[in-house]
Amino acid sequence: MAEAADAVRTVIVTVDDDPAVSRAVARDLRRRYGDRYRVVRAESGASALEALRELKLRGVPVAAILADYRMPQMNGIEFLEEALDLYPGARRVLLTAYADTDAAIDAINVVDLDHYLLKPWEPPEEKLYPVVDDLLESWRVTDGLAVDTTKVVGHRWSAQSSQIREFLARNQVPYRWYSSEEPEGRRLLAAAGESGLRLPLVVTPGGTVLVEPSERDLAAQVGLSTTPAADFYDLVVVGGGPAGLGAAVYGASEGLRTVLVEREATGGQAGQSSRIENYLGFPDGVSGAQLTERARRQATKFGAELLTACKVTGLEVNGAARTLRFADGAAVSAQAVILATGVSYRQLNVPGAAELTGRGVFYGSALTEAAACQGQDVYIVGGANSAGQAAMFLSRTARRVTLLVRASQLAASMSYYLLQRVQDSSKIEVRTDTVVETAHGEEHLEGLTLRNRATGEAERVDAQWLYVFIGAEPLTDWLDGTVLRDAHGFVLTGPDLTADGRPPAGWTLDRPPYHLETSVPGVFAAGDVRAESAKRVASAVGEGAMAVMLAHRYLEQS
């Protein structure tokens, strides 16, 4: 039987059918966390679920659940799957023997497992506590803060409603969504004095009402920083994807006064990924949101300033200063700049797609919409890793996922490990040599016309959900006349600028550009925005760190 729970402190639950092991786990957890958390111990999945239900009724938060894999009647995966319904935010850890690691890896997709630990975990100072420390801190930041949530009222098929929900989710702002047609949605509209004709409506925790807000206005009202604290910095990083966050961490940790400027939400395309499994140091995989949240915390811990919803529109060279102009007319200057703006998904240029964007047609994972796909057919356009990861994620709840691939095979564009999982899934169908010719629908997406490029045959299929991953474009027009780029808009750096042995036009220094330096001294590029980059999360983070090293070298010589 589970031990009685304390209604005051946040709870850590541990369950193991072996009494000795159960006591050992609880003992080690209490030794480290007993002053801050109540440790609830159970010796079966059923008794642990009973304890969780009691805690739920009392309103007691649960931060982490540690479950043994091999238990009779209900194994650890089955238990965690049921516990997920009660406490979806609790961090989930599976305790396994070495022989059960395959089961633990499978559990990642079944219960969104956060970690698995091999038994025995001695010494706990090395094998248990670092893992639990990280999970508890992650829970505290994202799920454990006792704050009121922002409320969003909108129409189910409103593109702007979808954008606002995605903006809040990607910036890890807690919110609750209400349809304008449900009773609570109507009550909020009435309280705000709105008839419902102007949507979406946002009510902040402080009671401020925003009608059809811009992302910048919304960011300012929900506590995100949108204005720089100073006019001049040592380093400005433009873009908050893996390269930008990596640069912010290394710049701030090495003593540079650093500000990161992001136009939408930190994480970039990687931040929208449901699962990244080939990133060094995360053998169990990590979601883009988790990786982004950890990087944000790391950057701010070292003193980096992070700005959101700040669109940069120009770069100027003013003597030793590099000045960035914002869309609202403001500006910020620095001694060095790192361009890490990444790329955006290329738009699907077919009839109907633009009009239905946000109303059934989505670019990127759009994880806020995933829950609505349960039991339905989903179509995904693309054949690279991002499309494969989305297919695996959506196939957990969708009735069927169809991957539409323009090429004749997937092997050339998708990593081998992911290709094997896609091909092994019974719920994913891959259609090669296939393109979307038309998107049909009035209020929302209702169907697609698909064409086989090999045979020329076309067919109309019913569809309400289409996710698009068809390549990328860098969105660097704001650098026109300042920084040299290639024909596709990617920023040229280092050797690509001096291929003929001569420095680029306008270069004012005696030395050639450093490896990641652009045609403007002191301005560097890292990650996907850079021409000929590797287009991988690990390489982007590495380039962000390397750009900081080169910026240091530049500053020392200036």
Structural domain spans, the chain: 11-142, 150-215, 232-343+474-557, 361-470
- Find the mean pLDDT for residues 166-179: 89
pLDDT (tens digit per residue) in 362-386:
998 766 777 788 899 999 999 999 8
Residue 510 has pLDDT above 70, yes or no: yes
Q: Of 3.40.50.2000, 3.40.50.10420, 3.50.50.60, 1.10.167.10, which CATH number belongs to 361-470?
A: 3.50.50.60
Q: What is the pLDDT of residues 454-468, one digit of tens each?
A: 999 999 999 999 999
The per-residue DSSP string of 366-423 comes to -GGGGGGGTTSEEEEE--SHHHHHHHHHHTTTSSEEEEE-SSS-STTTS-HHHHHHHH
Percent of the chain with pLDDT strictly greater than 70: 94
pLDDT at residue 99, rounded to an integer: 56
CA 102 and chain centroid, separation: 26
Structure pTM? 0.76
CA 201, 203, 204, 209 dihedral sign is: positive
Q: What is the pLDDT of residues 40-95, one digit of tens each?
A: 999 999 999 999 988 886 778 999 999 998 888 888 888 988 888 788 889 999 88
Q: Compute the distance between CA of residue 90 and CA of residue 104 in angstroms, rounded to an integer.
A: 17
255 three-state secondary structure: coil
Which is it for the CA torsion 297, 300, 304, 310, positive or negative? positive
- Determine the Cα angle at 520 with ends 516 and 525, to 5°: 30
484 CB-near residues (< 8 Å, 6+ apart): 491, 492, 497, 504, 518, 519
Give the pLDDT band (50/70/90) at residue 2: very low
pLDDT (0 to 100) of residue 64: 95
User: Does pLDDT of 486 surpass 90?
Assistant: yes
What's the token pair of residue 204?
């902040």
Top mean pLDDT of 4-8, 98-102, 167-171 is at 167-171
pLDDT confidence band for 98 (50 / 70 / 90): low
CB 45 within 8 A of CB 73: yes
pLDDT on residue 196 = 58
**Domains 11-142 and 361-470 in one fold:** no
For 15-51, write each residue's pLDDT tens digit: 999 999 999 999 999 999 999 999 999 999 999 999 9
Indicate the CATH number of 11-142 among 3.30.470.20, 3.40.50.970, 3.90.320.10, 3.40.50.2300: 3.40.50.2300
- Cα dihedral 273, 279, 284, 290 in deg (nearest 10): -50
Return the minimum-mean-pLDDT range out of 141-150, 211-220, 324-333, 388-397. Answer: 141-150
Cα angle at 383 between 540 and 282, to 5 degrees? 40
The pLDDT value recorded for residue 191 is 78
pLDDT at 143 over 60: yes
pLDDT of residue 105: 64
Determine the pLDDT at residue 5: 38
Architecture of domain 150-215: 3-Layer(aba) Sandwich (3.40)
Domain 232-343+474-557 CATH assignment equals 3.40.50.170:
no
Mean pLDDT, the chain, as a whole number? 90
